[in-house]
A and B are shown apart, each in its own frame.
Chain A
Amino acid sequence: MVLTVRDLAVTRGGLAILEGVSFDLSAGEALVLRGPNGIGKTTLLRSVAGLQPPEGGTVTRAEDQIAYAAHSNGLKAMLSVTENLKFWASVFGLSDIEPALEAFDLKELRNRMAGTLSAGQKRRLGLARLMVTGRPIWVLDEPTVSLDVASVALFAEAVRRHLQGGGSALMATHIDLGLDEARVLDLTPFKAAPRTRQMDEAFL
C-alpha cells in the first residue's frame, strides 16, 4: 500500500462534511472519487496531500510521495511555458521537462507566456507539472476541467503510463476517463451527520 486512509473525517469552514472514509491505494492503481458538489472531495484531497490536518482518522503515506494538483494551476502568467515547467522541475530536484511537454502536446507552445494560453492549454501545462515532480502518487482535483476530448485522451494516456510505471493516482472527477483499471469510490454514503463542532479554532 502506498496510501492508506482509515476512518478519515474532514471539515470545511468548521462544519463536518465527511466521516468514516477508508480506502487503500497501491502501486499501479487509480482511484476515482465521485460525489455531488460540496460533498467534500477537494477537502478530502487536501487532507490526503497534507495541506489540511484531518478532523479524525489517519492518512498513512510515506514522506514526500505526493504530487498535488488543485483547481488552480499555479502558473505564473509572465513566465513562458518552459520556464514554468523548469521552475517546478528544479523545485522537485529534476531537470528534464521534455517528456512532460511531449505528453501534453505543449511543444509548439513552449516559448509562449503562460498568461497568453487558453484555459485548456493552461490546464494541460498544469497537468504537465505532475510529470516533472517525479513523485509516485498523483492527487488530482478535477483534472479535466476545461480540457477538450483530445486533451482528456492525452491526460488519460499520461495517467495510464504513470500507473504502468508503478505510480498511482487518486482523483476527483465527474467524467469517464476511459481508464478501465480505475476503481470508483462514491463519497455520498460518507456524508457527515449534521452537527456543529466545538468552535475553538479561532482561539488556538
Chain B
Amino acid sequence: MKALLIRDLMLAIRAGGGFGLGLAFFLIVTVLVPFGVGPQTELLSRIAPGILWIGALLACLLSLDRILALDWEDGSLDLLATAPLPMEGIVSIKALAHWITTGLPLVLAAPVLGVLLSLPVPAYQWVVISLAVGTPALSVIGTFGAALTVGLKRGGLLMSLLVLPLYVPTLIFGAEVARRGAEGLTVQTPLLLLAGISFGVIALLPFASAAVLRINLR
C-alpha cells in the first residue's frame, strides 16, 4: 500500500502528471473573479469565502477522472486487482494520493489567493480550516465517482454529473464555516457537520468504491 502511494505521488509530480493542474485552475479562478466583479472591494470580500470554496471544488473535480482511468488504460488496475492488496485499500490510497496532490496544495494556496479576493482578516484561518477538513471528502467522493465510470468512453462528463450533487453538502457547510468565520460568528455547528461528512465518507465510501470497481473490471 505504501508502494502504491509512493508510486502515485511520483507519477503525479513527474512530467505529464496531475500535480499543479488543480492548483493552476484555482489560481486562474481567483485571479479572474476580481476582474469580473469589478473594483468593489466590499462586495468582493463578502463573496470571497464562497468563491474560494467553489474554486477549490471545481479544481478537485478537474483531476478526478485521472484517479483510476490512467491505471485502467494501461492495464495496471487489472494487475492490482489480482495483487494481494484489498480493493478497499487500493481506492483509499488512490483517494489519499489525490488529496495530497490536489487538495493539500489548495489548502495551502487558499490564504495566499485570499489576498486577491480581499478576504476579511478573521476569515483566513477559517477558510484554511474548512478546506483542510472538507477537501478529503471531495477526494474520497471523487474516487467513488471515478470508480463508477472507469472504463466508460467519455466517462468524465458522466462522472461530473454524478459527483457534483454529492459535493453539495460539503460545499454548503464548508462555505458556511468560512462565511461565518469572516463575519466573526460562531462556526462550531457547520464545522462539526463538515467534519462529520468527511469522516463519514472516509469510513464508508471506500467499500462502495471497491464494490463498483470490482463490477467495472469484469
Residues of A within 8 A of B (CB): 49-53, 64, 66-79, 83, 86-88, 90-93, 129, 133
Residues in B with CB closer than 8 Å to A75 are 74, 76
The residue on A at minimum CB distance from B12 is A78
Residues in B with CB closer than 8 Å to A76 are 7, 11, 74, 76
With contacts A66-B82, A68-B82, A83-B10 taken as known, whether A74 is within 8 angstroms of B74 at the C-beta atoms is yes
* In the complex, the 6 A-B pairs of residues with the closest C-beta atoms, listed nearest first: A72-B75, A74-B76, A90-B3, A78-B14, A74-B75, A74-B79
A68 to B11, CA, bound (A): 23
The residue on B at minimum CB distance from A115 is B16
A79 to B15, CA, bound (A): 10
A51 to B7, CA, bound (A): 23
Q: Which residue of A67, A79, A86 is within 8 Å of B82 (Cβ)? A: A67
The residue on A at minimum CB distance from B16 is A78
**A69, A76, A79, A86 interface centre (most CB from chain B within 10 Å):** A76
Q: Which residue of B11, B78, B218 is within 8 Å of A74 (Cβ)? A: B78
A68 vs chain B, min Cβ distance (A): 5
Given pairs A79-B14, A90-B2, 17 additional interface contacts (CB within 8 A):
A51-B81, A51-B82, A70-B79, A72-B75, A73-B74, A73-B75, A75-B74, A76-B7, A76-B74, A78-B14, A78-B15, A79-B10, A83-B7, A87-B4, A87-B7, A91-B83, A92-B83
Mask: chain B, 61-92; 1 = CB below 8 Å from A; 0 = not: 00000000000011110111111110000000
A70 to B85, CA, bound (A): 18
Q: Which residue of A51, A71, A72, A78 is within 8 Å of B217 (Cβ)? A: A51
Residues in B with CB closer than 8 Å to A87 are 3-4, 7
User: Do most interface residues of chain A lie in helix, strand or loop, or is the interface mixed?
Assistant: loop
A72 to B83, CA, bound (A): 16
Does A91 lie within 8 Å of B75, measured CB to CB?
A: no
Residues in A with CB closer than 8 Å to B11 are 76, 78-79
Is B122 an interface residue when CB atoms closer than 8 A count as contact?
no
Does A72 lie within 8 Å of B74, measured CB to CB?
A: yes
A172 vs chain B, min Cβ distance (A): 15
User: Do most interface residues of chain B lie in helix, strand or loop, or is the interface mixed?
Assistant: helix
Residues in A with CB closer than 8 Å to B78 are 51, 68, 70, 72, 74
With contacts A74-B74, A87-B3 taken as known, whether A92 is within 8 angstroms of B84 at the C-beta atoms is yes
Residues in B with CB closer than 8 Å to A70 are 75, 78-79
A141 vs chain B, min Cβ distance (A): 10
**A66, A88, A91 interface centre (most CB from chain B within 10 Å):** A91
Residues in A with CB closer than 8 Å to B2 are 90
Q: Which of B1-60 contact A (CB under 8 A)?
A: 2-4, 7, 10-11, 14-17
B215 vs chain A, min Cβ distance (A): 9
A49 to B83, CA, bound (A): 11
The residue on A at minimum CB distance from B7 is A87
Residues in A with CB closer than 8 Å to B84 are 64, 91-93
Does B7 lie within 8 Å of A50, measured CB to CB?
A: no
Does A68 lie within 8 Å of B79, measured CB to CB?
A: yes
B71 vs chain A, min Cβ distance (A): 8
A51 to B73, CA, bound (A): 16
Residues in A with CB closer than 8 Å to B85 are 91
B142 vs chain A, min Cβ distance (A): 21
A73 to B79, CA, bound (A): 9
Does B218 lie within 8 Å of A52, measured CB to CB?
A: yes
Residues in B with CB closer than 8 Å to A78 are 11, 14-17
Q: Which residue of A53, A90, A133 is within 8 Å of B218 (Cβ)? A: A53
B87 vs chain A, min Cβ distance (A): 11
